[in-house]
A and B are shown apart, each in its own frame.
Chain A
Amino acid sequence: MSVTPLPPIHGYLVVSTLLFAIGLVGVFARRNAIAVLLGIELMLNAASLNFVAFWRYRGGGQMEGQVFVVAIITVAAAEAAIALAIILNVYRRFKTVNVDQINLLKG
């Protein structure tokens, strides 16, 4: 296998940062609860990308980077399932999934 020069790590880090910021906007500014969930998924992926980038650029010897990404994906799956179940319940109760209309904790 030939040693191909990798692009410097900056690129990956910039991508992950920007992806995270995009996901953040989705979390803040969307009314639909499922759209908020999509934003969360984007953020999780940005984190995973960070981990794998650092794994590679530290030589690829220690596997912790990848193990953590496995954990992230697992948890993302579980969380998506639970979140969607909750959204279903909210929909049944409030007849809407618009997050800004669910403010019973307002004080």
Chain B
Amino acid sequence: MPGILEILLTPGLNELVLIPGLPLLAFLVIAAFMLRRSEGAAPLVLITALAGSLVLSIRALSFAGRQRAFTTAFTWLSSGHVTLEVGVLIDGLSSVMLVVVCLVSLLIQVYSIGYMRGEIGYGRYFAYMSLFSGSMLGLVISDNIVQTYIFWELVGICSYLLIGFWYRRPAAAAAAKKAFVVTRFGDLGFLTAVLILSFQRHGRLGWHSMFGFVPLEHFVNAGMLSSGVVTAVALLIFSGAVGKSAQFPLHIWLPDAMEGPTPVSALIHAATMVAAGVYLVARTYFFFAAAPVALFVVALIGVMTAFLAASMGVAENDIKRVLAYSTISQLGLMMLALGVGGYAAGAFHLTTHAFFKALLFLTAGSVIHAAHTNDIWQMGGLGRRMPITAITCLIGAFALAGVFPFSGFWSKDEILSAVWFSHIPGHMIIFMVALTGVALTAFYMFRLWFLTFTGAPRTEHAAGAHESPPVMTLPLLILAALSAGSGWLKAHVPWTTGGMAEIVRFGDTQERASTLVVGLALAAAVAGIALAWAAYRAHLIAPAAFHARFPWIYRLLKNAWYLNRGWEIFATRVVIAGSSVAAWFDRHVVNGMVDGVAWLSGWTGRRLRTMQTGQAQFYALILILGLIAGLVVLFSRDQSLFHLVAHRP
């Protein structure tokens, strides 16, 4: 194992350490020197760092394309049979993810210069953003599970800090706390998996060194690892992903997380951090490949989340919350892809989603800035006033809905194909549900677009809105280009979409295209768009009438299927009931034992005290009775008096 100095000095290796290192360095610089300003150089430091990381990531990407995988590590800490390493891993999956994170983060920081201008805490914002960027890059580039977990938690902290950026607002503080606590719930499972693995593998925890390049089945068949343990570990890792990627049932934190600034929502809660869960499942896919039960669970939860979240997005009126539910839904689709064996499809959708969701959030941010409200019913007619924003948003909407030839079409199509051709039980039903989700997605997205950008302005603010400054529109344009064009990556640069080694290993080599699937997907998207146009632009259908006829549907969706309420009941009733049992146990049994010892001493003392009568005759009597007992015992064995007395000659 090379030491850290060797890593830093060896050409090639030091670059990789810099990829997360530069933003973390930026964090230190900003935190040390630039916290007090409300204008100034802080974003420039970060942007410079991110640009450097981007260049290095692109180099790594080209490197990964030529080779199979590259990993190196040095031993950080070794104790007993546990060895902790620090290292980096470059393969198809990680290098693509690095480029995406660097690029999106860079664009969003540029956007933030305009968005956060004049805010108190400007410096603090960029400090947190740089810490986050460094942590996310560190997570992606980690080569062992412990290091991944460390960065996982770091990313969670940054999320908490950034959601609660305007901490003086109670809603923001509450949302930050909720996000942290809910993801913690999932992280507990992840940590348990780390612990189980560290016991099982005796410290060899690197992704590739853990089991070599041999599929896990061989270990199970050879009896070295029980299949129950593999399934358990897979499910526990997945629970961490469920928390971080806001899957059902731990999705409740993401809509509330919209309390943070919009660029934060764009970066963390759309493009990157929430994708970390999907990334983790992809990273540990060799576990899931050996545990079909876990894979099925992943697929099931993925499709459930996709459908539920899309349905909730339909009833939302806050522009950011619609996009939040959309994110949850798309992450569900990614999980579904992974669950049915479409490893490459899931990874591909991860990258396209990062681009168009970030784009959508940034446009939403511009709109909110211009119209001074989050409520889409208080907007309208912004298309004429903010043309660049409207066009880029439209591109993003098409990408999200999955319309040809935008990127979302290609990635969504791959996912649906993977489901169609998979062999898991009930895959047709799952396909139907996913397809419904696609239709709903198109519907709510275009409902949003029509209500925001078309028609007549519904408030004065909307009427007086104007386009954002170039520092904000430029990132929009770049992201729009990426959202439109990254679909062709799949066709022409296949090794970027998910890592050759993994594809070869997990047998997803056939990309069977089916015209039927493509047609169905396109039809669903078009149907959704048409319905939205009919209801909200051409006013051919009145939503109000629908509400009147099916009020319960509307109520169900508006209240997010009452899931928040469900968790609240769980937390207050179940958890507290459990803790009162534990508290009772502690008070009466544990405390009781201690008190019992004291009581026992007192009771014994009281009983024994009666022996002290103060009367000498009583003591004499006891003495003689003891003597008799002693004599009996002494002489019962040996009948002769004289044998006990030493004879002196």
Tell whether any CB of A sits under 8 Å from a CB of B in the complex: yes
Assess whether B646 is interfacial by the CB under 8 Å rule: no
Q: Is the CB of A100 within 8 A of B620?
A: no
Q: Is the CB of B615 within 8 A of A28?
A: no
Docked complex: A72-107 residues within 8 A CB-CB of B: 99-100, 102-107
Q: Which residues of A contact B9 (CB under 8 A)?
A: none
Q: Is the CB of A27 within 8 A of B614?
A: no
Distance (Å) between the CB of B476 and the closest chain A CB? 93
Assess whether B609 is interfacial by the CB under 8 Å rule: yes
Q: Is the CB of B621 within 8 A of A107?
A: no
Q: Which range contains the number of A residues in contact with the other chain?
A: 10 to 19
Assess whether B636 is interfacial by the CB under 8 Å rule: no
Q: Is the CB of A100 within 8 A of B612?
A: no
Among A100, A106, A107, point to the contact of B617 (Cβ < 8 A).
Answer: A100
Q: Is the CB of A28 within 8 A of B617?
A: yes
How would residues 607 to 633 of chain B score, 1 for a CB under 8 Å from any chain A CB and 0 otherwise? 001001111110011001000000000
Bound-state CA distance A36–B614 (Å) is 16
Q: Is the CB of A28 within 8 A of B621?
A: yes
Distance (Å) between the CB of B614 and the closest chain A CB? 3
Chain A residue at minimum C-beta to C-beta distance from B612: A107
Among B613, B615, B620, point to the contact of A27 (Cβ < 8 A).
Answer: B620
Among A24, A28, A106, point to the contact of B613 (Cβ < 8 A).
Answer: A106
Q: Which residues of B contact A36 (CB under 8 A)?
A: 617
Bound-state CA distance A106–B611 (Å) is 9
Task: Tell me the count of chain B residues lying within 8 A, CB to CB, of chain A.
Answer: 10
Q: Is the CB of B620 within 8 A of A107?
A: no
Chain A residue at minimum C-beta to C-beta distance from B619: A105
Chain B residue at minimum C-beta to C-beta distance from A99: B617
Distance (Å) between the CB of B602 and the closest chain A CB? 15
Bound-state CA distance A105–B616 (Å) is 9
Bound-state CA distance A103–B615 (Å) is 5
Q: Is the CB of B620 within 8 A of A105?
A: no
Chain B residue at minimum C-beta to C-beta distance from A104: B614
Distance (Å) between the CB of B628 and the closest chain A CB? 11
Q: Which residues of A contact B613 (CB under 8 A)?
A: 103, 106
Q: Is the CB of B614 within 8 A of A28?
A: no
Q: Which residues of A contact B621 (CB under 8 A)?
A: 28
* B609, B614, B624 pick with most chain A CB within 10 angstroms: B614
Q: Which residues of B contact A103 (CB under 8 A)?
A: 613-615
Bound-state CA distance A100–B633 (Å) is 32
Q: Which residues of B contact A105 (CB under 8 A)?
A: 612, 614
Q: Which residues of B contact A29 (CB under 8 A)?
A: 617
Bound-state CA distance A102–B613 (Å) is 10
Q: Which residues of A contact B620 (CB under 8 A)?
A: 27-28
Distance (Å) between the CB of B606 and the closest chain A CB? 12
Docked complex: A26-58 residues within 8 A CB-CB of B: 27-29, 36
Q: Is the CB of A100 within 8 A of B624?
A: no
Also in contact, A99 and B616, with CB within 8 A (given A24-B624, A28-B621): yes
Q: Is the CB of A106 within 8 A of B624?
A: no
Bound-state CA distance A19–B613 (Å) is 28
Bound-state CA distance A38–B624 (Å) is 18
Q: Which residues of B contact A102 (CB under 8 A)?
A: 614-615
Q: Which residues of B contact A24 (CB under 8 A)?
A: 624
Bound-state CA distance A99–B617 (Å) is 8
Docked complex: B261-282 residues within 8 A CB-CB of A: none
Distance (Å) between the CB of B642 and the closest chain A CB? 13
Q: List 13 A-B contacts (CB under 8 A).
A: A28-B620, A29-B617, A99-B615, A99-B616, A100-B615, A103-B615, A104-B614, A105-B614, A106-B612, A106-B614, A106-B615, A107-B612, A107-B614
A residues near B (Cβ < 8 Å) are 24, 27-29, 36, 99-100, 102-107
Further contacts, 5 of them, CB under 8 A, given A103-B615, A104-B614? A99-B615, A103-B613, A103-B614, A106-B615, A107-B612
B residues near A (Cβ < 8 Å) are 609, 612-617, 620-621, 624
In the A-B complex, the 6 residue pairs with the closest CB atoms: A106-B614, A103-B614, A107-B612, A105-B614, A103-B615, A28-B621
